[in-house]
Amino acid sequence: MKPSTALAALLLAAAAFTALAAPAAPTPPLKGEVLETQNVEGYTYLRLKTAQGEAWAAVPTTPVKKGAQVTIGNPMTMQNFESKTLKKTFDKIVFGQLVEPGAPLAAPHGAAPAVPAAAPAAAPIVKVAKATGADAKTVAEVVAGKATLAGKTVLVRGQVVKVNLGIMGKNWVHLQDGSGAAASGTNDILVTTKDSAAVGDIVQAKGIVRTDVTVGPGYAYAVLIEDAAVRK
């Protein structure tokens, strides 16, 4: 192969790798006119008239008037979602948060759900002492050992670095304890809980390890701790 041909092939391969490695673009906000509202505990369901046609959305409970123009930021689309409260299955529904038009949206954190805006990032993580007890694990131990820990109860002590509130009836909390490495993705664990926590809190989370969890198109998690009890 001639040098020029080899160089061209190398450049094409590099370009292809860069395209594959590039992060996906954030999902744009959903905008539309409110045609109908239905309130249930924790949520306001909205039937919207959008440029692409009618669409259903759900946001944390908030007063919204028929005819209002709304913007739903950090949208996450769910297919075949069943609302037991409404006794209705939606072919497609968008979960998110109402935002002011043109307002900046919180960027997704890794594969975290693009849902209600997270609080600002905490100060740089300091080393947090590991919890004690038979189920105690560090963040890195849970992430790296997900295959053997799947379905088992773990107790993790760490600092809250991000919180997404009130999506699908849960709060989505990211914990770090100083273990693991960002480069390998072993320094951060997602916890779902009904308990409250704020960025910067040092908490203990006890729940069940789940692996290969998908909550919507494009939102897949290799590992998380589900339905955890979170305590300071």
Domain membership of residue 194 (yes or no) is yes
DSSP 8-class letter at 135: T
Looking at the fold, whether 60 and 146 belong to one and the same domain comes out as no
Question: Which residues, other chains included, contact 81 with Cβ-Cβ below 8 Å and sequence gap of 6+?
Answer: 89, 90, 92, 93
Domain membership of residue 110 (yes or no) is no
Range of the domain at 145: 136-231
What's the total number of domains in the chain? 2
Domain membership of residue 183 (yes or no) is yes
Residue 212 DSSP SS3: strand
Average model confidence (pLDDT) across the chain: 78
Last residue of a domain, one of 99, 127, 159: 99
Is 203 in contact with 175 (CB distance < 8 Å)?
yes
Looking at the fold, whether 144 and 87 belong to one and the same domain comes out as no
Look at residue 5 and tell me whether its pLDDT is greater than 60.
no
Domain membership of residue 82 (yes or no) is yes
Domain membership of residue 150 (yes or no) is yes
Last residue of a domain, one of 99, 120, 150: 99
Q: Which of 6-10, 17-21, 159-163 has the highest mean pLDDT?
A: 159-163
Q: How far is CA 58 from CA 2, 90, 114, 134, in A?
A: 59, 11, 13, 40
Backbone angles phi, psi at 146, to 5 degrees: -55, -35
Higher pLDDT: 69 or 123? It is 69
Residue 231 DSSP SS3: strand
Q: Which of 6, 168, 2 is nearest to 82 (CA)?
A: 168
Question: Which residues, other chains included, contact 217 with Cβ-Cβ below 8 Å and sequence gap of 6+?
Answer: 77, 79
- So what's the pLDDT on residue 96? 81
Strands 136-137 and 153-167: parallel
Strands 219-231 and 189-193: parallel
Look at residue 118 and tell me whether its pLDDT is greater than 80.
no
pTM higher than 0.85 for the full model?
no
- So what's the pLDDT on residue 217? 53
Looking at the fold, whether 226 and 148 belong to one and the same domain comes out as yes
- So what's the pLDDT on residue 27? 64
Tokens linked to 161? 């670095």
Tokens linked to 149? 């820990």
What is the tens place of the pLDDT at every residue in 42-98?
788 999 999 999 999 988 878 888 999 998 887 888 888 888 888 888 888 888 888
Question: Which residues, other chains included, contact 130 with Cβ-Cβ below 8 Å and sequence gap of 6+?
Answer: 136, 137, 138, 157, 177
pLDDT over 70, % of the chain: 75
CATH number of the structural domain spanning residue 56: 2.40.50
- So what's the pLDDT on residue 152? 96
d(CA 152, CA 154): 6
Look at residue 209 and tell me whether its pLDDT is greater than 90.
yes
Domain membership of residue 113 (yes or no) is no
Domain membership of residue 125 (yes or no) is no
Looking at the fold, whether 140 and 212 belong to one and the same domain comes out as yes
Tokens linked to 160? 């809250």
Higher pLDDT: 218 or 137? It is 137
- So what's the pLDDT on residue 44? 87
What is the tens place of the pLDDT at every residue in 135-184?
999 999 999 999 999 999 999 999 998 888 777 778 889 999 999 988 88
d(CA 153, CA 208): 4
